[in-house]
Copies of this chain bind each other. A is one copy, B any other.
Amino acid sequence: MRLEQTESSGKPASGRSAYFGVEKKRRMPLGGMSFAAEKLLLEKILQAVGNPPVQILLWNGLEIPTQKESTVAQVLIRDLAALLKLFFNHRLYFGELYSARRVEIQGDLLDFLEAVFRCRPLRRANRSSDKLLLPFDEIRRNTLAGARRNIRHHYDIGNDFYKLWLDERMVYTCAYFQHPDASLEEAQLAKMDHICRKLNLRPGETVVEAGCGWGALALHMAKHYGVTVRAYNISREQISLARERARAEGLDGKVEFIEDDYRHMRGKFDAFVSVGMLEHVGLDHYRELGEVINRVLKDDGRGLIHSIGFNFPRPMDDWAERHIFPGASPPSLAQMMQILEPYDFSVLDVENLRLHYARTLEHWLQRYEDNVDRVSRMFDENFVLAWRLYLAASITTFKIGKMQLFQLTFSRASNNRIPWTRQYLYGAECLPAGLNNGNL
Contact = CB atoms under 8 A, between A and B. Distances in A.
A1 B440 CA distance: 5
Contacts of A312: 337, 341-342, 344
Interface in A283-337: 311-313, 332-335, 337
Contact of A344 (B118, B122, B399): B122
Number of copies: 2
Interface stretch (A97-105, A202-210, A414-422): A414-422
A52 B307 CA distance: 40
A45 interface: no
Interface in A53-91: none
A345 interface: yes
A423 interface: yes
A141 interface: no
B341 A352 contact: no
Range of interface residues on chain A?
A: 35 or more
A286 to B, nearest CB: 12
B346 A354 contact: yes
Contacts of A118: 414
A426 to B, nearest CB: 4
B426 A346 contact: no
A355 B311 contact: no
A212 interface: no
Contacts of A426: 422-423, 425-427
A44 to B, nearest CB: 25
A439 B7 CA distance: 14
A177 B422 CA distance: 12
Interface string A111-130: 00000001000100000000
A436 interface: yes
Contacts of A122: 344
Interface stretch (A25-33, A160-168, A238-246, A400-408): A400-408
Nearest to A426: B426
A439 B355 CA distance: 11
Contacts of A177: 420-421
A122 B346 CA distance: 14
Most buried by B among A179, A338, A347, A425: A347
Contact of A420 (B180, B350, B436): B180
A413 interface: yes
A23 interface: no
A351 interface: yes
A119 B333 CA distance: 30
Question: Closest 10 CB pairs between A and B?
Answer: A401-B413, A350-B350, A334-B337, A312-B341, A334-B334, A426-B426, A348-B352, A401-B414, A423-B426, A311-B344
Given A177-B420, A332-B341, A349-B352, 5 more contacts: A180-B440, A333-B347, A337-B337, A355-B436, A355-B440
Interface of A: 1, 118, 122, 176-180, 311-313, 332-335, 337-338, 340-342, 344-352, 354-355, 358-359, 399-402, 404, 406, 412-416, 418, 420-423, 425-427, 436, 439-440
